[in-house]
Amino acid sequence: MSWGRAMALDAVHSIPEPTPVARRSVTDEGAAVRWLLVATALGFLTLFLFVPLAAVFYEALHKGWRAYFAAVAEPPVRGIERILSRAAERATEADVRYAGLVLPAEAFELTLAGTVLVDVRTRAEWELVGRVPGSVLVEWQRYPDGAANPGFFAELDVHASHEDIVLFLCRSARRSHLAAEAAAARGYSRALNILEGFEGDLDAVRRRGTLGGWRSAGLPWVQS
């Protein structure tokens, strides 16, 4: 055998045999179709179940938030009516001759609605002890002699009308009680006294500012 023929035979034998192509059986194709149908059915089932459940969840969430905001964010008009109603009940219980008695926090809420807050303490108390922002000073008694202010009603008429809700404030609700009573007799039909006053009552060591009062409640106040 010649050298050239031998090389040709070696080359022929060295060619790799073709890899047989795998054929998909009918069984494999049927399984794939079944899985596709199952997946599609599960998708539709999930969709039809999820949408109604999502709607129910949304409605429950919506109602829950509405109830929450109704509880913590009472409409202003309803809030004022509630405060005035409770104030009138206290006035009846205490047998006072004016529209009502309010707590400091209630009085603050009323001031946010545009009512008139009249501080009847002396100017010395107003400037040195502290005052409520936006309030007006109409002294019930003068300082230092404690004499009655002869111009009380003339000054009050400048700041409020007889139809206004007028809140009276003093140190501990005593002078404001007298002022509210006098104002009601004068025709102020919506005169209210702020219980506890600006400083509250004396505590065990005879100090004010710890037993009730506007300042103790953490409500806004300023000093000169």
Tell me: the pLDDT tens digits for 144-183? 999 999 999 999 999 999 999 999 999 999 999 999 999 9
pLDDT tens across 90-112, in order?
A: 999 999 999 999 999 999 999 99
216 and 209 Cβ atoms separated by less than 8 Å? yes
Full-model pTM = 0.66
- Single-letter amino acid code for the residue at 221: W
Strand partners, 101: 193
Strand partners, 192: 100, 167
